[in-house]
Structure formats: structure tokens, C-alpha cells
Amino acid sequence: MTEVLVRNAKTSFVYTCVLLAENARQSYYSLTGHETFDNYVDHLGLSRSQKSYYLCIGNAILSGVLSLDDALAIITHSKGNLNLITPLLRNNTITPKQIEQAKELDFNGMRIALGQTVKKPEGEYLICPHCGAVFLRAETKKA
């Protein structure tokens, strides 16, 4: 049950990105009484960084740089990978190979494929089984 809810939330996120980008392109926000798209986004409670992220993904899908099916496959596999390719989407420099890698590789594998350094921290750490992020275990001190 939880797995279905998570998958549905990820799917809804991608569709929200597309709808927000379409809203900005077509000025649909004005139909709700907002003078600017930024006012509309503020009304939705999104931060500037969220707006930028949503629009980047939505515009990439609407412009055909990334297909809706590929976006859904990437986010279902690893939301971290969608975060990693966002700069490539924004700059329109992503390759078909990188899209396929984002659908198949774990987070650290994708970082390596993009030429990023992956360094595991010293000490005890945990690796997220969903996105591959590495978390260093915090030291606890007794009072």
C-alpha cells in the first residue's frame, strides 16, 4: 500500500511540474486573478528554488528534451537522479545516453556517470536503498 502511495506521489510531482510550466507559458494564472506568475507561485506556497526546479522539469518535458515517460521512469527509479540531471535539462545539454543512465543507475552510479566524485565518508555510514545517498552516522555524546 505504501509503495503505491509513493509511486502515485512521484507521478503527481511530475504532472505538477508539467502543469506549472504550462500555466506559466499560457498565463493561466491570470484567470485566477493573479497579476504575475510569481504572485501565483507565492500563492501556491512554493519557494523560488522549488519554482525553478518544477519549471525546469516541466519545461524540459513540454519542449521535448525529456519525455513524460522518461521523467516518470527516472523519478520512479531514483528521485536523486532527477535532481542530478536538472542542470543538464536547464542547459538543454542532456544526451539520450544520460537519460537512459538516469533510468537505470543508482544515485552514486549516476554521479560517477556524470563525472562527479563519489567519496564515502570515514566512519560509519548508511546508504539509502532508494536513492543511493550516503549518510554519515552522527556521533552522540553522553552528558
Structure confidence by residue, pLDDT tens digits, 27-67: 999 999 999 999 999 999 999 999 999 999 999 999 999 99
pLDDT at 75 over 80: yes
List residues bridging with 136 in a β-sheet: 125
- Domain assignment of residue 126, yes or no: no
- Domain assignment of residue 30, yes or no: yes
What is 95-112 written as a DSSP string?
Answer: -HHHHHHHHHS-HHHHHH
What pLDDT was estimated at residue 7?
86
State the DSSP H helix or E strand holding residue 81, giving kind and residue range, or none if neither: helix 79-90
- Domain assignment of residue 139, yes or no: no
- Domain assignment of residue 112, yes or no: yes
- Domain assignment of residue 75, yes or no: yes
What pLDDT was estimated at residue 108?
84
Q: Which domain holds residue 110?
A: 2-117
- Domain assignment of residue 37, yes or no: yes
What pLDDT was estimated at residue 127?
66
The domain tally of the chain equals: 1
Q: Among 71, 95, 70, 69, which residue's Cα sits nearest to residue 17? A: 71
What pLDDT was estimated at residue 61?
97
What pLDDT was estimated at residue 136?
64
- Domain assignment of residue 134, yes or no: no
Dihedrals φ, ψ of 80, to 5°?
A: -60, -35
CA gap 116, 42 in Å, rounded: 34
